[in-house]
Amino acid sequence: MDYKAYYDILLSGIETEARVSRIVRGISWTAAVLSDGQAGVAMHTEGESFPRLYESLLGLPAREAAKAVLSWNMEEASEGMAVVNACYNRAANIEAHGCYESAGALEGIDLRDKTVGFVGHLIHHSGITDELLAPAKAYYVLEREPRPGDYPDSACEYVLPQCDVVVITGSASVNKTMPRVLELSQNALTILTGPTVPLCPALFALGIARLNGQTIVEPEGMLQRIVEKRTSVNAFARRWTLDK
Q: DSSP per residue over 98-142, as a string?
A: T-EE-S-TTTT---TT-EEEEESS-TTSTT--HHHHTTSSEEEEE
Q: Give the residue extent of every domain in the chain.
A: 10-96, 103-214+237-243
pLDDT on residue 46: 93
pLDDT on residue 166: 98
Q: Are 169 and 145 in contact (CB under 8 A)?
A: no
Same topology, domains 10-96 and 103-214+237-243? Answer is: no
Candidates 75, 81, 31, 24; CA nearest to 50 is 75
pLDDT digits (tens, 9 = 90+) for 10-36: 999 999 999 999 999 999 999 999 999
Q: Answer left, alpha or beta for residue 59, where phi above 0 means left and psi between -120 and 50 means alpha.
A: left
Query: Which residues, listed in sequence order, are joined to residue 24 by a DSSP beta bridge?
Result: 31
User: CA 190, CA 197: separation in Å to the nearest integer?
Assistant: 13
| CATH architecture for the domain at 10-96 | 2-Layer Sandwich (3.30)
Q: What are phi and psi of 174, to 5 degrees?
A: -75, -45
| 201 pLDDT higher than 90 | yes
| 211 pLDDT higher than 90 | yes
pTM for this predicted structure: 0.95
User: CA 50, CA 47: separation in Å to the nearest integer?
Assistant: 8
Is domain 103-214+237-243 classified as CATH 3.40.50.11590? Answer: yes
Q: Are 79 and 43 in contact (CB under 8 A)?
A: no
CA 7 to chain centre: 12
Average pLDDT, the chain: 95
When pLDDT is averaged across residues 192-201 and rounded to a whole number, the result is 97
Query: Which residues, listed in sequence order, are joined to residue 128 by a DSSP beta bridge?
Result: none
